[in-house]
Amino acid sequence: MSLQNSIVTQPPVASRLSEKRGSNPKFLFLATFHPQINTGSHELLDVSIDVDFAEHHVPGFHHTRLSLFTSLLSACLLPFTSGCSSDNDTTNTAELPPEQVETAGRIGSDASLTLKKNLGAQLKAALQSGSPETALHVCQKIAQPLTTQTSQEFPEAIVSRTALRVRNPANAPTDQDRAVLLEWENLLASGKDLPPSKLIHNGRTQIIYYQPILTEAICLKCHGSPSEFSSALSEKIIDLYPNDQAINFSEGDLRGAFRVTVTLD
């Protein structure tokens, strides 16, 4: 039995995820995805059976059992819920028990998603109700507190964000951060896809989890070309971030990364 995955990029997206071949009846599932703000990943919103398609194309569909549907659905969802898939990049983790690496990947993924959702929702609301200057002010007020709050929700982890070109000096990269980000920039420059995440064992009691943040069109309102900013926005950026470096991005550029430091048991 093989499971074939398919993701389409228009939001919201309905994609037939998998089929089961063999002596048992064939199933088709429908998965709905939505692209994440500032990343190239997709959030799984819902999975259901494509009843109309199945009724017309799958012999014996109406005789299928719920238990079999549930088990196939679980297998189908695994690539999207696992915190450490085979596509993830790992460094210095070979000597660790696989379950530790998997746990660190899951915690890192969950923590990144939590911060991404909370911060993204606040910024989206600010942009919809006000101007880019309003969103900039909101981000300046809430980004760091939300990051701290996320760390408190995951006691095993310290959550942060970083980038090569930062707006807030508190997010300045370490040497290791810089190496990871430069590696990803080189991959993008050569036309290659980025891994969903990168995990690095620091040789002691921690695994550092990185998840790339890609620049979306909405980010350009405050991180694009200054020539397209209003004078009010330019003045606000200088006022709040006098040493700002986070401008002149284009859609699809590497904006930065979520970094989650996970302490091993």
Q: Where are the chain's structural domains? A: 13-81, 89-263
The helix/strand/coil state of 160 is: strand
CA–CA separation, 107 and 112 (whole Å): 8
Reported in sequence order, the residue ranges of the chain that DSSP labels E, i.e. its strands, are 13-16, 29-35, 42-49, 89-91, 157-162, 198-201, 206-214, 254-263
Please give the pLDDT value at position 91.
Answer: 83
Query: Could you report how far apart the first and last alpha carbons of the chain are, in Å?
Result: 36
Query: What CA–CA distances, in Å, run from 242 to 120, 131, 221, 245?
Result: 24, 20, 18, 9
**In angstroms, how far apart are the furthest CA atoms of the chain?**
68
pTM beyond 0.85: the answer is no
CA–CA separation, 238 and 256 (whole Å): 21
Please give the distance of CA 9 from its chain centroid, rounded to a whole number.
14
Q: Please report, to the nearest 10 degrees, the dihedral formed by the alpha carbons of residues 128, 236, 250, 175 taken in order.
A: -120
Environment class of residue 265 by beta-carbon count within 10 Å: exposed (0-12), middle (13-18) or buried (19+)?
Answer: exposed
- Token reading at 8: 């389409």
Crossing angle of the two packed helices 132-153 and 231-240, in degrees rounded to 10: 40
Q: Which of 144, 149, 123 is nearest to 38 (CA)?
A: 123
From first to last of its 265 residues, the chain has per-residue pLDDT tens of 333 333 333 333 333 333 333 333 333 344 433 333 333 444 444 444 444 444 454 444 444 333 333 333 333 333 333 344 446 788 888 889 999 999 999 999 999 999 999 999 999 899 888 889 999 998 999 999 999 999 999 999 999 999 999 999 999 999 999 999 999 999 999 999 999 999 999 888 999 999 999 999 999 999 999 999 999 999 999 999 999 999 999 999 999 999 999 999 7
